[in-house]
Amino acid sequence: MSTTIYLIRHGESEANERDVFLGHYDLSLTQNGRNQAAMTAAYLAEYAPVPDAIYTSDLKRAYETAQYTAERLHKSVITEKELREIDAGDWDNRSFDDLIKHFAESYHTWLTDIGHARCDGGESVEELRERVVSYIMQIAQIHDGGVVFLFTHATPIRAFAAHCLRKTREEMKTVPWATNASVTKVIFEAAEFRLVEYSRDDFMGDSVTKLPENV
């Protein structure tokens, strides 16, 4: 049997609005982010099957996004640290321009070769990829033949999509960032993941927001 997995990035957060790099530092959604979360909830309610379970990163921006869908579907949410954004270490809650200035070499790797990047004092993208792939595989097996929603963050979704597409670490840079509150659909079958749709956001119209070029 196959498991259908929907990965949803959180809505626009206060960090997105301020152009700062956010890992585990905990900030909430903006008003626009809440509007995006409501539109994503409406889209999922109309076009996706009712999930067997809704999982979310325990960080505010993802949890708040998940709540809109959970309330609309009358479902509870399960919080999980494994769905957190990358541990940004010394980069956390610092402006992108500040990272370029103070972490020139390591942040340049992030911008140009993300598959080999590591946040100073924090997690590497490869470590994050292993964490996320391992966790999602467990969830897919637990809900074999079912449907699950996972509310998470930009780097986990990008790294996981690269895994689904069989991208090498060198090729991960060719996978774009998912936009805020976008929906990515993956099928797990015969012990493999297949990417069906990546970063769908057309249902948000002019409210779509994305990461700037210096991320």
Q: What is residue 39's DSSP assignment?
A: H
Token reading at 174: 């060719």
Point out which residues pair with 147 in neighbouring strands.
4
**β-pair type (53-56, 77-79):** parallel
pTM higher than 0.95 for the full model? yes
Point out which residues pair with 79 in neighbouring strands.
56
Is 211 within a domain? Answer: no
pLDDT tens, position by position, 124-183: 999 999 999 999 999 999 999 999 999 999 999 999 999 999 999 999 999 999 999 999
- What CATH code is carried by the domain that includes residue 9? 3.40.50.1240
Is 208 within a domain? Answer: no
Number of domains within the chain: 1
**Element of type H or E holding 79:** strand 77-79
Is 113 within a domain? Answer: yes
Q: Which amino acid is at 49?
A: P
pLDDT tens, position by position, 178-207: 999 999 999 999 999 999 999 999 999 999
Note whether 136 and 5 are within 8 A (CB): yes
Is 55 within a domain? Answer: yes
Is 215 within a domain? Answer: no
Return d(Cα 64, Cα 60) in angstroms, integer. Answer: 6
Domain that holds residue 111: 3-203
Secondary structure class of 27 (helix, strand, coil): coil
Is 70 within a domain? Answer: yes
pLDDT value at residue 35: 98
Is 69 within a domain? Answer: yes
Token reading at 165: 């597409």
| DSSP state letters, 152-193 | E-HHHHHHHHHHHTT--TTTGGGSPPPPTT-EEEEEEETTEE
Is 159 within a domain? Answer: yes
Report the percent of the chain where pLDDT is more than 90.
96
Return d(Cα 88, Cα 99) in angstroms, integer. Answer: 11
Q: Tokens 């399960």 appear where?
A: 78
pLDDT tens, position by position, 49-78: 999 999 999 999 999 999 999 999 999 999
